[in-house]
Amino acid sequence: MTDDWRTQQHYRDNAKELGRIYEKAGVTHLHHLITLLRPGDKVLDVGCGTGRDVAWLREHGYQAEGTDPSKEMLAEARRRHSIPDGVLHGDSLPGLESVGGSFAAITCIHVLHHLEDTLLLDSLYRLRSLLAPGGFLLIKIPSHHASVAQGIHADGRRYILRDPGEYRFFLERLGLRLTAQIDDHHEETRSLWHTQVYTTPLSAGLNPLETVESILWDDRKVNTYKFALLRAVTDLAVHTTRTGRWTRDGRVAVPINIVAERWIEYYWPLVAIGAGNDEEILLGQRVSGKQDMTFRRSLSSLTQRWEPTGGYPAFRAALDRGALPLEQQRELRNVLNDIGRGIRQPVQYAGNARTGKKLFEIIDGDLYIGGTLWTELALMGRWIEDSILIRWAEFVADLKHQKNHVTSETVLALLLRPRRNDHDTSIARGVYGASLAAKGNLECVWSGTTIRTMVHLEVDHAIPWALWYSNDLWNLLPADRTVNNTKRDKLPSRPLVEASRSRILGNWEALWAAEPAMFSAHATRFLGEPLHDFGSARQQELFEVFKNAIEFTASNRAVKRWDI
């Protein structure tokens, strides 16, 4: 149920003692559950431990099965109960690959808090996919425990305490509906537990989030293009929503070139590794006489040119500054054209019997996507992207002819590289440093405090790097070191942003004057339309988009706000 070795070891070493404790515990949760079921219904107990609930359900006339990742716990279950062969499975979330069919009910007791955040959404989706229409999901999760600190129990187990509303948030977006919740205070352990019961709709239609998960898990794939397409659309919906143009039929149109540019960023570290030699990472099924990707050759050539002098960040800076020589501009056009042809493949084939076959469409250089899917991606992008990256890494590592040294961890680290790039603020710092030298002082953008030396000057990511991964110039503003130390990864309050308007605009004017091409490129991506001048009207437009982006981020990510 978890990839954490300490948690696994705990259950391995304590199976007999835990069996003794579990057998003494009550089964009141099952008494409630069976009032919702019919005799003979199929029930799955995920994280069945020593088999108490499976045995009880079978004794009361239900077709119960159980899964648990611990061989020792399953052995204890078979020792304690007369459970037939084929009923208990050694398996764990999020895969549960040994389990098939659909179930009238699934129980998941004392399990989900052992999962790290990056596995939670995939795990809940898998549980949802195993439920029959009109089925029930029963979970029990903790929100407080005196023996837990920073996600670790005193006995060493991973133990992530989440508010029950967080589970409801995800499960309701997967199409389930909360029908009951019981809160239990355990005085002995000074803990608070919540039992929640959800039901699935009787109809089999998929909501947008289920559609994404079905593409990730159910679609047939011969290469990584579907992952890249979903990641790009998610990225654009979250960070540059205005690049999408709403159409009269309820869809959103995004320029295909913008998607292709995102693919360059995603694939760059994957292609640059071992480019031109036998160490390169295979990114699709190998077919005799064909490349694993249609654009590998052209992108590999581009990466080899730039890797010795700074890699993708240096290439992107030169592109945004309009400083690419003509030869390299032609080379870039070739890459974009090759990627554009590659994008057509997942656009044509994304989708399956559950999702439908027409999820995307390309018309006159624009990629069209359903408006409800675009909206869900904008709201849930942080979690969806994590799922995409994990599945992408697993797919690449599992390719039939993949190199032995390539693991899912290797691939995931490369896919995360755009996020983990250095917080490069050198260009903005150079502009503010020159202004400080010329005028003798600067104002802190948030407090108005006078900054007189470079020692006291810090460049603040207005929308923190941890939330946005953006070194775009509009997001880099001068701050007093002491003030910035109190802000860090917090978002400024709306009143503070409004009060700082004149200082923000003044700094943007300085950046525009010093780096007009780069500031224009960054603002164009943010605004979703070209920025050719920076007069008063465009300044105010950029400010409103900036202010709204902060609000949307605060709302979607539940981030603490900061004020002076």
Check whether 203 has a pLDDT greater than 60. no
Q: Which of 1-5, 38-42, 400-404 has the highest mean pLDDT?
A: 38-42
φ and ψ of 434, to 5 deg: -65, -40
Q: What average pLDDT does the structure give for the chain?
A: 91
Distance CA 171, CA 373 (A): 17
Q: What pLDDT is attached to residue 341? A: 95
Quickly count: other Cβ atoms within 10 Å of residue 221's Cβ.
Answer: 18
What percentage of residues in the chain have a pLDDT greater than 70? Answer: 96
Residue-wise burial string across 271-280, b where 16 or more C-beta atoms lie within 10 A, e elsewhere: bbbebeeeeb
Residue-wise burial string across 447-477, b where 16 or more C-beta atoms lie within 10 A, e elsewhere: bebebeeeebbbbbbbbbbebbbbbbbbbbb
Q: What pLDDT is attached to residue 409? A: 94
Distance CA 170, CA 379 (A): 11
Binned at pLDDT 50, 70 and 90, residue 356 comes out as confident
Residues of the chain with CATH 3.40.50.150: 5-199
Extract the tokens encoding 217.
Answer: 């898990």
The letter for the amino acid at 76 is E
pLDDT digits (tens, 9 = 90+) for 58-116: 999 999 999 999 999 999 999 999 999 999 999 999 989 999 899 999 999 999 999 98
φ and ψ of 351, to 5 deg: 115, 160
* Cβ–Cβ under 8 Å, residues 10 and 157: yes
Binned at pLDDT 50, 70 and 90, residue 288 comes out as low
Extract the tokens encoding 214.
Answer: 């079905």
* Cβ–Cβ under 8 Å, residues 244 and 528: yes
pLDDT digits (tens, 9 = 90+) for 104-128: 999 999 999 999 888 898 899 899 9
Q: What pLDDT is attached to residue 292? A: 83
Classify domain 5-199 at the CATH class level: alpha beta
Query: What global pTM score does this model have?
Result: 0.68
Owner of token pair 């810090």: 458
Q: First-to-last CA distance in the chain?
A: 44
Classify strands 191-199 and 131-145 as parallel, antiparallel or unpaired: antiparallel
Q: Which 8-state DSSP code applies to residue 284?
A: B
Q: What pLDDT is attached to residue 499? A: 97
pLDDT digits (tens, 9 = 90+) for 21-52: 888 887 888 988 988 899 999 999 999 999 99
* Cβ–Cβ under 8 Å, residues 268 and 386: no
DSSP letters for 82-112: ---TTSEEE--TTT-TT--S-EEEEEEES-G
